């Protein structure tokens, strides 16, 4: 056994025939990998052998044993796959599973060994059964998940208070208490409630009522929070829309959701909202209209089943899909998260996520329903870790939530100030790695890992992380039911990965205008419903139960990916690329370029055979897709690799992290191709090449046209700070997006003693 391998014995009687062991392990391995045909690596007395197994070709367990005996007799040496397979059945007088350290969870390996022993007994007792029909679940296995759920969460009688009612109650208790701060402006609970009441009356006059959609095309800020509350007070539901989206996408969302009113401001693009009633907050006309409305709340429809908001997620068919979330589900979410993150009057939380990202619901409303203050970061502040830390320190922020991608640079920015013992950190949207968990624990007082799709209202499970070597997605939140099922929708034993199915109060109503998709993903609870007719959501996420009742994430059963917290269906991006006049074939995949650095990579085949410049590809995608759906790397191939059956050969796609993106300086004859001339330009160009995975670039090429985005800009500023021994705000990259301009700005800042870094606007005036 090699030094980097661990082992766990199989609980079987000594001297058991090898074919029985191989057959049993094949059954368990097939369940684990959700495959009917697979290769089983076996180490027999020091000789490595591969056994190919097709469960459909072995009608009974006895046939499977006979097949394994024949394969072992042939003693075919293991192929190339042996070196990369993380787990092997070893038979050396005794039987054990050997697994590569770091590639297989030791707890899971022990569970799989136990299941293999159970499979041996099932094969012997019912040799006439099909291998897939062998029952690996004990009666205790069937009961245990229910007991775990009961122990992990409480079923709360009655729905939680609706958000607008809870905030109004806080305003009644103490109207002068600070509620929301953004960019130097502060509103108290009394002011917040009054402004929301006036706007709610205006919306009612515009026909807003139960389930009527209102689009919020606003940047983060106080007007956005007021608008959310106003829509709820009017009885409607809101649809957050990023005003930075392409006009074509905004128009699609408004049409698909059939919004009645758009709440925007002067910056809301006219082309996107053409034909829709628009209230532009902040204008003189809007101020006059609101001043004429009562400051008391309108009549409340008090419908507990009404919608609270609609959020659009990426769609595999090429169009985004709207998730309709009931207000009662949001109330249950806030009550559940509040059990893990206690916020009281006088505490402060930070809201730094974009409103179109569902975790923003927790950031904004968890503090408000509990009487705490929320500091809303501007776009510029939220994308600059140094600015975010200034907000945390200036306002004594107790609660911060962000994706793992955002937390990594934030931990770097927090480190110089030492550990913030009172800061509670919540992360979600992507897998939390042990390395990042350790970094977060080092700079905060508490780390919480949350999991949940938009369709089950932000968080369905939560885990308190105390040991970075033991990261899970935890246990279900209040009034939440979870099942882990196999490819045949049967409950699986602990240790076996299966699809996570979620039900309970957090379950969304479904997808707007997508009845077929709704019926496919929102299905009746046939496992253990507490109430007839209950609906559960099929997440498509693979997880497994640990013996302590916590869930551990594995991956996906489809091509859906998470990139920087955003859920992405590659099919939506591919549909846009397919429409490009020079693209004849394409594939889009997510690839890891470093710790917590996952990027979208486009593999394209062009009609003329020439490489497709990344700037052209990004410009084409940006006409209809938001920034997070635009690939940051493009590899042009002569053809897409195919399997013998004509399907895309995933394994034959180039490793984008090991292959330069093919970026080159602007072609000769254009001034963009000029090479770096000064030491500062050479330093900036070198940092850009590494961050953008570029072969070459000119001093006048644009950072963002070459695939740069807010995360890459954050990485670049950290490298620039080390190179130039200078505090470099991320806004500098946005203000100077070419090598020459940025190098010149850095030289000027060195001469002047640094860039101007203003304190958080208004911090001195509003700090309590």
Residue 726, Cβ density class (10 Å: 0-12 exposed, 13-18 middle, ≥19 buried): middle
* pLDDT above 80 (res 1): no
pLDDT-derived band at 529 (thresholds 50, 70, 90) equals low
- Counting every residue written for the chain, the total comes to 768
> In the predicted model, what is the mean pLDDT of residues 401-408?
90
| Same-domain check for residues 678 and 638 | no
What 3-state DSSP class applies to 490?
A: coil
For the four alpha carbons of 355, 360, 361 and 367, in that order, the dihedral sign comes to: negative
pLDDT in tens, 634-677: 888 998 888 666 677 877 888 776 665 444 444 444 444 588 88
pLDDT in tens, 154-193: 666 677 889 999 999 999 999 999 999 999 899 999 999 9
| Same-domain check for residues 682 and 626 | no
| Same-domain check for residues 129 and 250 | no
| Same-domain check for residues 43 and 107 | yes
Percent of the chain residues topping a pLDDT of 90: 52
pLDDT in tens, 288-315: 999 999 999 998 776 768 999 999 998 7
Q: When comparing pLDDT for 260 and 419, which is higher?
A: 260
| Same-domain check for residues 44 and 122 | yes
CATH code of the domain covering residue 111: 3.30.559.30
Q: Give the list of residues 6+ apart from residue 347 with CB closer than 8 angstroms, or none.
A: 367, 370, 372, 373, 398, 399
* pLDDT above 50 (res 235): yes
Q: When comparing pLDDT for 250 and 269, which is higher?
A: 250
For 223, the domain range is 186-303
Q: Give the list of residues 6+ apart from residue 576 with CB closer than 8 angstroms, or none.
A: 318, 620, 621, 624, 625
Which residue bears the tokens 């897939």?
132
Closest CA to 383 of 186, 628, 602, 656: 628
* Helix (H), strand (E) at residue 724: helix 710-724
CA distance between the termini of the chain: 63
The per-residue pLDDT for 150 is 63
Q: Which two tokens stand for residue 119?
A: 């499979």
| Same-domain check for residues 11 and 121 | yes
CATH code of the domain covering residue 703: 1.10.1200.10
| Same-domain check for residues 296 and 214 | yes
Q: Give the list of residues 6+ apart from residue 323 with CB closer than 8 angstroms, or none.
A: 310, 311, 312, 313, 454, 455, 508, 510, 511, 512
In-domain check, residue 438: no
Final residue before a domain boundary, out of 303, 322, 347:
303
Secondary structure (H, E, C), 75-108 = CCECCHHHHCCCEEEEECCCEEEEEEECCECHHH
Q: Strand 185-188 and strand 480-485: pairing?
A: unpaired
Q: Strand 261-264 and strand 213-216: pairing?
A: parallel
CATH code of the domain covering residue 277: 3.40.50.980
| Same-domain check for residues 123 and 212 | no
In-domain check, residue 67: yes
* CB-based contact 14:42 (threshold 8 Å): no
Q: What share of the chain is helix, strand, coil (3-state, %, to 5)?
A: 35, 25, 40
In-domain check, residue 560: no
* pLDDT above 80 (res 596): no
DSSP one-letter code for 491: B
* pLDDT above 60 (res 145): yes
Distances (CA, A) of 56 to 19, 28, 32, 63: 18, 15, 16, 11
Final residue before a domain boundary, out of 604, 623, 643:
643
CATH code of the domain covering residue 592: 3.30.300.30
| Same-domain check for residues 128 and 233 | no
| Same-domain check for residues 678 and 631 | no
Provide the whole-model pTM.
0.86
Distances (CA, A) of 503 to 267, 342, 473, 506, 530: 40, 25, 17, 7, 11
In-domain check, residue 710: yes
| Same-domain check for residues 111 and 229 | no
* pLDDT above 70 (res 61): yes
Side-chain-side CA neighbours of residue 729 (13 Å)? 20
In-domain check, residue 597: yes
Final residue before a domain boundary, out of 111, 135, 159:
135
Q: Which two tokens stand for residue 305?
A: 């089943």
* CB-based contact 359:353 (threshold 8 Å): yes
In-domain check, residue 379: no
Closest CA to 12 of 165, 124, 145: 124
The per-residue pLDDT for 541 is 93
| Same-domain check for residues 637 and 675 | no
Q: Which two tokens stand for residue 736?
A: 């100077």
β partners of residue 594: 597
* CB-based contact 614:656 (threshold 8 Å): no
In-domain check, residue 717: yes
Overall domain count for the chain: 4
In-domain check, residue 461: no
Chain Cα centroid distance, residue 445: 23
């Amino acid at each position: 056994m090699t030094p980097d391998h661990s082992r766990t014995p199989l609980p079987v009687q000594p001297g058991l025939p090898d074919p029985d062991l191989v057959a049993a392990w094949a059954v368990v391995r097939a369940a684990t990998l959700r495959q009917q045909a697979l290769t089983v690596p076996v180490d027999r007395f020091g000789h490595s052998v591969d056994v190919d197994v097709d469960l459909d070709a072995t009608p009974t367990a006895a046939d499977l044993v006979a097949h394994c005996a024949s394969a072992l007799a042939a003693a075919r040496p293991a192929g190339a796959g042996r070196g990369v397979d993380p787990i092997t059945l070893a038979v050396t007088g005794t039987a054990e599973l050997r697994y590569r350290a770091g590639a297989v969870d030791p707890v899971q390996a022990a569970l799989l060994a136990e299941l293999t022993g159970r499979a041996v007994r099932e094969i012997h007792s019912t040799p006439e059964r099909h291998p897939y029909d062998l029952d690996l679940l004990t009666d205790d296995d069937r009961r245990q998940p229910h007991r775990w759920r009961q122990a992990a969460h409480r079923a709360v009688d009655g729905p939680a208070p609706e958000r607008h009612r809870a905030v109004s109650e806080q305003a009644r208790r103490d109207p002068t208490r600070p509620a929301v701060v953004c960019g130097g402006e502060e509103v108290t609970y009394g002011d917040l409630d009054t402004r929301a009441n006036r706007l709610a009356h205006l919306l009612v006059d515009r026909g807003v009522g139960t389930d009527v959609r209102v689009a919020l095309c606003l940047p983060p800020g106080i007007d956005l929070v007021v608008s959310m509350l106003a829509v709820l007070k009017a009885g409607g539901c809101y649809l957050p829309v990023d005003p930075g989206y392409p006009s074509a996408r905004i128009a699609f969302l408004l049409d698909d959701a059939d919004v009645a009113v758009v709440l925007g401001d002067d910056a809301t693009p006219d082309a996107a909202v053409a034909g829709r009633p628009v209230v532009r907050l902040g204008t003189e006309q809007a101020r006059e209209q609101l001043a004429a409305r009562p400051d008391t709340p309108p009549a409340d429809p008090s419908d507990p089943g009404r919608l609270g908001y609609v959020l659009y997620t990426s769609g595999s068919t090429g169009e985004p899909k709207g998730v309709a979330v009931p207000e009662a589900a949001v109330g249950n979410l806030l009550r559940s998260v509040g059990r893990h993150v206690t916020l009281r009057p006088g505490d402060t939380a930070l809201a730094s996520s974009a409103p179109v990202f569902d975790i923003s619901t927790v950031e904004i409303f968890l503090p408000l329903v509990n009487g705490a203050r929320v500091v809303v970061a501007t776009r510029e502040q939220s994308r600059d870790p140094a600015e975010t830390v200034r907000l945390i320190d200036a306002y004594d922020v107790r609660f911060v939530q962000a994706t793992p991608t955002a937390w990594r640079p934030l931990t770097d920015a927090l480190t110089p100030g030492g550990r913030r013992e009172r800061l509670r950190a919540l992360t979600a949207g992507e897998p939390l790695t042990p390395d990042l968990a350790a970094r977060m624990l080092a700079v905060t007082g508490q780390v919480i890992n949350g999991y949940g799709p938009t369709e089950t209202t932000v968080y369905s499970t939560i885990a308190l992380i105390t040991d970075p070597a033991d990261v899970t997605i935890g246990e279900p939140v209040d009034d939440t039911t979870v099942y882990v099922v196999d490819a045949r929708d049967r409950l699986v034993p602990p240790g076996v990965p299966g699809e996570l199915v979620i039900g309970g109060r957090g379950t969304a109503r479904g997808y707007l205008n997508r009845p077929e998709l709704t019926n496919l993903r929102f299905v009746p609870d046939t496992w253990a419903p507490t109430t007839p007719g209950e609906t559960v959501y099929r997440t498509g996420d693979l997880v497994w139960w640990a013996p302590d009742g916590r869930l551990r994430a594995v991956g996906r059963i489809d091509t859906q990916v998470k990139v920087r917290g955003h859920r992405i269906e590659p099919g939506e991006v591919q549909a846009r690329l397919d429409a490009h006049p020079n693209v004849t074939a394409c594939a889009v995949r997510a690839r890891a370029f470093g710790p917590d650095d996952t990027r979208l990579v486009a593999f394209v085949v062009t009609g003329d055979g020439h490489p497709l410049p990344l700037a052209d590809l990004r410009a084409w995608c940006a006409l209809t897709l938001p920034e997070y759906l635009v690939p940051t790397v493009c590899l042009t191939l002569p053809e897409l690799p195919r399997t013998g059956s004509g399907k895309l050969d995933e394994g034959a796609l180039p490793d984008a992290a090991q292959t330069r993106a093919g970026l080159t300086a602007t072609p000769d004859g254009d001034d963009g191709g000029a090479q770096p001339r000064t030491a500062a330009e050479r330093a900036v160009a070198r940092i850009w090449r590494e961050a953008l995975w570029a072969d070459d670039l000119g001093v006048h090429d644009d950072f963002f046209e070459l695939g740069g985005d807010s995360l890459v800009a954050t990485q670049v500023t950290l490298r620039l700070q080390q190179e130039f021994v200078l505090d470099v705000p991320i806004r500098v990259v946005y203000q100077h997006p070419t090598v020459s301009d940025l190098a010149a700005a850095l030289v000027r800042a060195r001469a002047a003693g640094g860039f101007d870094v203003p304190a958080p606007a208004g911090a001195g005036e509003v700090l309590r």
